């Protein structure tokens, strides 16, 4: 299983906003975006280039991928499922991502970050019992109930090319 091993705070700095990838550190004064509010790299301070439409679409897709901790192939798979489903593709995509087990643990405040939730699921501490397969989904999350600052329409436009 492939995992991102580089600095997670670098992703927040690249996107220009807090993605809350490090749990409690993102709420403290040690957060990298508060210490250095510019993009990472040698030319992070001086580089001020106007982004193209493609650049904006790519940045939104990367931000969504990084928030949910997915690799490109996994994200593309979710997008293809969402485009085949009934409804608005962007909203369906976010609904599918919000219903992942690691994200549910994060939303229930069992974990401090989604990556921690993913580790708990991966280590087998939280499982779906195959003998008693019964569950109730009270409601599918709507776009208004998802507090993530993502413009899903830009992601749909990117993959529609």
Q: What CATH code is carried by the domain that includes residue 138?
A: 1.10.1050.10
Q: Which residue has the tokens 């991928």?
A: 65
Look at residue 28 and tell me if it is in a domain.
yes
Look at residue 133 and tell me if it is in a domain.
yes
Look at residue 123 and tell me if it is in a domain.
yes
| Segment 13-43, tens digit of pLDDT | 677 777 767 766 666 776 766 666 677 766 6
**What confidence score (pLDDT) does residue 4 get?**
67
**What confidence score (pLDDT) does residue 5 get?**
63
Look at residue 2 and tell me if it is in a domain.
no
Look at residue 100 and tell me if it is in a domain.
yes
**What confidence score (pLDDT) does residue 140 get?**
85
Choice among 10-14, 76-80, 101-105 with the minimum mean pLDDT: 10-14
- The residue range of the domain holding 98 is 8-159
Segment 10-17 long-range contacts (CB within 8 Å, at least 24 positions apart): 10/40, 11/66, 13/37, 13/38, 13/39, 13/40, 13/44, 14/39, 14/40, 15/59, 15/62, 15/63, 15/66, 17/149
Look at residue 32 and tell me if it is in a domain.
yes
8 Å CB contact between 28 and 34: no
Count of structural domains, the chain: 1
| Segment 50-100, tens digit of pLDDT | 888 998 899 899 889 988 989 999 999 999 999 999 999 999 999 999 999
8 Å CB contact between 83 and 160: no
- Provide the whole-model pTM: 0.78
Look at residue 3 and tell me if it is in a domain.
no
Look at residue 1 and tell me if it is in a domain.
no
**What confidence score (pLDDT) does residue 27 get?**
66
Instruction: Between 86 and 134, name the one with better pLDDT.
Output: 86
């Amino acid at each position: 299983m492939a995992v991102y091993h580089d600095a997670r705070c670098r992703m927040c700095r690249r996107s220009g906003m807090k993605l809350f990838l490090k749990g409690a550190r993102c709420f403290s004064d040690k957060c990298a975006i508060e210490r250095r509010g510019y993009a990472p790299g040698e030319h992070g301070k001086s580089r001020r280039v106007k982004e193209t439409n493609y650049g904006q679409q790519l940045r939104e897709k990367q931000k969504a991928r990084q928030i949910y901790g997915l690799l490109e192939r996994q994200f593309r798979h979710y997008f293809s499922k969402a485009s085949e489903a009934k409804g608005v593709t962007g909203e369906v995509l976010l609904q599918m991502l919000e219903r992942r087990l690691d994200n549910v643990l994060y939303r229930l405040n069992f974990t401090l970050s989604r990556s921690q939730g993913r580790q708990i699921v991966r280590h087998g501490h939280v499982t779906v019992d195959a003998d008693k397969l019964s569950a109730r989904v009270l409601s599918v999350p709507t776009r208004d109930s998802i507090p993530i600052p993502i413009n899903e329409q830009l992601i749909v436009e990117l993959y529609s090319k």
